[in-house]
Structure 1
Amino acid sequence: MRNIRPWVVVEPPDSRGLRRVVVGGETVGHAWSAGGLRKILGRLGHPEDLDLEDPVALCWRGGDSGTWPDRPGRRHAVTVLLVAGLLASMALGAVVGWPDAFGALTFAQRLNGIMFVLSGVVLGAAAVAALDYGGKRQFRGSGAIVLLGVLIALATDSLLLFMWLEETEFTPFVPVFTLLWCWSLWALCLLVRDRSWKEVPQPKRFAAGVVVTALLTGVSLAYSTMYQPAAAPMHLTLKAEFGKARTDRSLGFLQVPLTLSMKNTGGIPVYILNDSYKVSGRGALYSKNPPDRDLTREWRDSAGQRGEDSGESELYVGHLTYTTISSGHFYGPGNRLEIGEEYTRKHVVQVPKDAKYDILGVDLTISYMRKDRGKIDVSEFRIPHYSWDRHDKRYYCPPERGCFQQIYYHGRVWHNDNLVNLTRKPRYVTAFWSPGRIPDSLISPYDFKGDTGGVQKEKREWGRYGAAQADVNSEVSLAELLAPPTPLLPPGYSSQVPTLTP
């Protein structure tokens, strides 16, 4: 008598052509083809040559033994595209977040980077889940995990694309995240059409988790880009003071002490981009203004001699001349100044005794940049380059171009938000210095390759990297510096005139 075995039921094919195999009310496997079905039957103890048309052994629903609508080529191609896109998005997330997660200066920026790294981990898990989702879907939550990974990829790629559209500068990453953005749209449409979340036991909780993750990411980005700069203001306090002059009788010069100081009184460390001090002596002709003189004209002439931007004029002084006596760097481009750190320099100015100066003045100018906004390659930036050096082909500026003889300081700068670095061309800090001239510095894509007309100060880059300039001006009368010290009074002696009382 023939052994009675449990009846094998082959269910109708689903939308992908996969047929479920049921024995005794329990699912024992899924088959894409007749060969796959025979493997399942073999594990159940059926012979390899079992007749699939035998109604005693098998019950076919929604088609017979020849109904296998699976298209393996298309199915494998879709799975490969899903896995490849998720792995590429994982790599992009690591590239975006890794530098900030382990190299950013502020907690908010590090948190931002860590979130991108964690999103890369989720994308890696989604790539593994995509193999199951593109196959027999033995894990019920694989579709939801793939959907979460695609949503993260779409959000990241959309953010990168939006930031790139602000400048539309080509970088090697532009084709990458543009292609991934198109892929994420395709993958999202595919998963929504297949309702990949339907197998999740609690789809509402899954949706809530996605929303919470998106909100945390948005809050982190807003905190790092909006709140943190306002919470940590940047401020430098500068001082410039002359001391009492002394006469060097052997040389016939006056030695005037000068003290320059700078302190970071703000809430964030800074890079010094450029700095300069200039000591100048003023010469002038004085007049007593007799009644028949046109006072308005004298005032106007004096104002014109001081410069149209000075905002000052003097009535009794004319024919003003300013001579630069001493000029140089104060702290040096590329140096850093931490919070609360102070730097002081003492300098002695040599002035000839017979010089026709009435006033000595000093101008101290500092250009600086927030350290939490960017990182400068100081090893490159501190190296001086000379515009008159013919051997330095990159920085040499021929006189026929009308170039001033000046020193260049040039180096790469990275924004502390790596999203900016990936969506912009490389940026460089350039500082220009020459004796007696106002120091200038800029942040731009210009890399001293090509026409020097490309050197333009970009106010937007200046603000994006948190750069600013501070200066202090101080003047002192030469007569005051040469005045003899006030004699000390004997103890108990009063300089007030005694008053006689009747």
Structure 2
Amino acid sequence: MSIRPWVVVEAPDGRGLRRVTVGGENAGSAWSLRELRRMLDRLGYPDVDVEDAASVCWRGGDSGTWPDRAWRRYATIVLMTVGLLASAVLNGVIGWPDASGALTFAQRITGALLVLSGLAQVAAAISVLDYWGRRQSRISGAIVLLGVLISLAIDSLLLLMWLEEREYTRYMLAFMPLWCWSVWAIFVLVREKSWRGVPQPKRFAAGVFASALLTALSLAYSTMYQPTVAPMRFSLKAEFGKAREDRGQPFLQVPLKLSVKNTGEVSVYVIIDDFTVYGRTAKYSEQGTSVEKEWKKGLDEDREDEAERHIDQIAFSSISSGRFYRPGTVLESGQEDTREHVFQIPMNVKYDLLHVDLQIVYMRKDRGRIDVKKFRKPHPSWKKKEGRSYCRRNCPEELVYFGAVRHNNNLVNVTRKPRHVLATWSPKVAPVYSISSYDFRGKGVDFAEESREVDRFGISTIESSSEVSVAELLRSTSSLRPS
């Protein structure tokens, strides 16, 4: 029988784990005396006297030297695992809407990267059990470190975006605590130098940096560069046709042709549109007055671009009004639509000119998404039920359109309060639109916020107008009469 003990228990490592060899072969590691006894029992030595120096050799301490603080280790495992899984869920919730339904390829890539980062954090959560356990994998610590770095980067980005507006959202209850958790987790992992098991730490660091840079560039491209450089171009026409005399009534039937074409590269949502035909009356004078005087007078009458020497007392009366599209209609790039509209005026009309205005208010589809199903539904303000819900006070008779609108990037949506787009139409007044956090139940519209949101969502108005002489219309009808 050899005088050398056949069970050797090594000194505790930095975590309190003691390596065990039996008969010169590695048998594993133990955190406590109870765990050592279970190990020997599994190996077929249940009756080994651990206090017998002939059987067990203790190095770096005796049978009572077990510095492992199990409660601290278990608490670290729980906190690391819960934090990584919570971050993975948050990244998936934020990234999936863009990954599955974003308009542009760059936005889908951004969403996919967030989803993939969530999967990486799930792998890191699994590696936590090994890193704070037996450490059978050399890279488990590096995987955990990568997952925590991802969480710190994304939560820091969310926090910075939230600080821009400082609005309450339910996601604050997730990314703010997770940011604090990620700072603590980074401190723990740096203190333990969790990257030491990586065979080539420089390549690992380079891979982490490249991934972070790719994510940042993709986000910047999809949210700032691409929506800014894509040009917007439209072709609007409003033209009067040849009038026809009504066979049974002393009226003229005047055709009006309207056409709209999106010649740009970006699809748009139509928020509201309107076309209105006006008849102009004026008092004529052979001597007339100076153009400068008429121009100044026109400024007082909201006619900044009209001044004539031989006419005075210009007035416009609305004859016909309507809409080209339903609110929420998508006008795709390259799409062209036309409409023929016929209106009537009396033969002995006092108008000297007919004027038509066509205008369309649109929102760039690469800047945001409108809940079209709700936005298309009209709410008449004169109906008691609708008016009470969609008009605060002194509401005129009009159709109200109201719906939610989201930014094109879900990272922005989770750091902002919900936005709503509002549009009203009436044949009596020009269309009105608004986009803000206003929802008819809280305070009124914040005009500074509204101005910012109009710019962020790329909302603009395009207009076209045309005029025709009534004398020309009458002459065209007289030439058609039989002699």
TMscore range, shorter length:
over 0.9
**1:357-395 deviations in Å (ceiling 9; x for gaps):** 111111111011122222211111111112221122543
Q: How does 1:83-482 map to 2 (within 5 A)?
A: 83-289=81-287, 295=290, 298-300=293-295, 302-304=297-299, 306-307=301-302, 310-392=304-386, 394-395=388-389, 397=391, 401-450=393-442, 458-482=450-474
Distance in 1, Cα, partners of 2:455 & 2:233: 15
The answer to whether the 8 Å contact 2:141/2:194 transfers is: yes
State the TM-score, normalizing by the size of structure 2: 0.94
Aligned-pair CA distance for 1:102: 0.7
User: For the structure 1 residues 288 and 26, does the alpha-carbon distance in structure 2 shift closer, same or farther, using more than 3 Å as the test?
Assistant: farther
Distance in 1 of aligned mates of 2:116 and 2:270: 35
- Between the aligned partners of 2:55 and 2:103, the Cα distance in structure 1 is 70
CA RMSD of aligned residues (A): 2.2
* d(CA) in 2 for partners of 1:314, 1:302: 11
- Asked if 2 retains the 8 angstrom alpha-carbon contact of 1:170 and 1:425, the reply is yes
- Change in CA separation of 1:213 and 1:193 when aligned onto 2, cut-off 3 Å: same
Matched residue, 1:483: 475
CA distance in structure 2 between the aligned counterparts of 1:432 and 1:455, rounded to whole angstroms: 17
Distance 1:340 1:435 in 2: 30
Whether the 8 Å CA contact 2:234–2:260 is kept in 1: the answer is yes
Contact 1:284–1:320, Cα closer than 8 Å, also in 2: yes
Quick check: 1:273–1:333 contact (8 Å CA) kept in 2? Answer: yes
Q: Look up the match of 1:28.
A: 27
> How many residues are paired up?
479
Offset at 1:453? 5.7
SS of the residue corresponding to residue 206 of structure 1 reads: helix
* SS of match in other structure, 2:130: helix
Kindly provide the amino acid, as one letter, of the partner of residue 210 in structure 1: V
Contact 1:302 1:315 in 2 (8 A): no
1:311 and 1:393 mapped to 2: Cα distance?
38
Query: Secondary structure of 1:112's match?
Result: helix
For 1:29, give the aligned amino acid: G
Q: Structure 2 vs 1, CA of residues 140 and 372 (structure 1 numbering), >3 Å: closer, same or farther?
A: same
**Contact 1:306–1:313 (CA under 8 A) maintained in structure 2:** no
CA gap of 1:171–1:297, structure 2 versus 1, over 3 A, is closer
Identity %: 57
Gaps of 5+ in 2: none
Letter in 1 for 2:88: M
Deviations 1:292-347 (A, max 9, x none): xx636742564246415x23322211101110001111112111111111111110
Of stretches 211-220 and 296-305 in structure 1, the one that deviates more from structure 2 is: 296-305
Give the Cα–Cα distance (whole angstroms) in 2 for the partners of residues 163 and 132 of structure 1.
Answer: 35
Match of 1:40 in 2: 39
Q: CA deviation at 1:468?
A: 1.4
CA-to-aligned-CA distance 1:237-266 (integer Å, 9 cap, x gap): 111001111221421111111011111111
- The residue identity in structure 2 corresponding to 1:279 is V
SS in 2 for 1:178: helix
